[in-house]
Amino acid sequence: MRGTRRPHIALPLIAALVLAAFPTMFCGAARAAEEVTTQELVENMERYDGREVTITGEAVGDIMVRDDYAWITVNDDAYSIKSIEEGGDFAGLSNYGIGVWAPRRELEKIHVLGGYKNKGDWVRVTGTFNRACHEHGGDTDIHAESVVVLKAGYPISHPFQYWKLLVVIILAGIIVVLWVVRRKKIRRALRKA
């Protein structure tokens, strides 16, 4: 029986490995970042301060590079989902966005930033939320560990609205006519005087 394996030794070894890995599987899940909106962060700053969070939204503005790190703004309000130009409803005047400080290599994945001409890349950011960041002069921000592009951005068309030009021309014409009529009245009044 020299060349045969002993299955009774392999089973306890496999069981020990599974049991050793078992707690780490659940501990990792317990430490997962909580998915929140920027509105929830703003309204519950003390609750989330120093905690790992995940936000999802549109990358807007510019990438502001500072050596090996960079800033972006992530906006997750109703306009980031569907702008007025795309047929979205008017949802008020405020935008919900937050500054994200991330390693430059993480932000190199972003190719389109949102603005007047573009719908920005849709990103998922995971990092530590800071209610008043000591490193950045007390600003509210997220120090990102990862940035994932979920959906590529694209250009937004703004077709010229000729009816607005027509309204401007008509109003300008009315102003010119009223000005001419007023000037004639003033000249008549001066002649009579």
Q: With 0-12 CB in 10 A as exposed, 13-18 as middle and 19+ as buried, what is 188? A: exposed
Under the banding of pLDDT at 50, 70 and 90, the label for residue 9 is low
pLDDT in tens, 138-185: 889 999 999 999 999 998 877 788 888 999 999 999 999 999 999 998
Task: Give the span between the Cα atoms of 117 and 156, in whole angstroms.
Answer: 5
Beta strands in 52-170 (DSSP E): 52-66, 69-75, 97-103, 118-119, 122-130, 141-151, 154-155
pLDDT at 24 exceeding the cut of 50: no
Residue 190's pLDDT is: 85
Residue 176's pLDDT is: 95
Residue 92's pLDDT is: 60
pLDDT in tens, 32-69: 778 998 888 889 999 999 999 999 999 998 999 999 99
pLDDT in tens, 89-137: 665 656 778 999 999 999 999 999 988 888 899 999 999 999 998 888 8
φ and ψ of 113, to 5 deg:
-105, 140
H helices present in the chain, as ranges: 7-30, 38-43, 45-48, 78-81, 104-107, 162-192
Task: Give the span between the Cα atoms of 92 and 17, in whole angstroms.
Answer: 56
The domains located in the chain, with CATH, are 35-155 (2.40.50.140)
Task: Give the span between the Cα atoms of 177 and 181, in whole angstroms.
Answer: 6
Q: Tell me 11's DSSP state.
A: H
Q: Tell me 84's DSSP state.
A: G
Helix (H, G, I), strand (E, B) or coil at 131: coil
Angle subtended at Cα 141 by Cα 90 and Cα 69, rounded to the nearest 5 degrees: 115
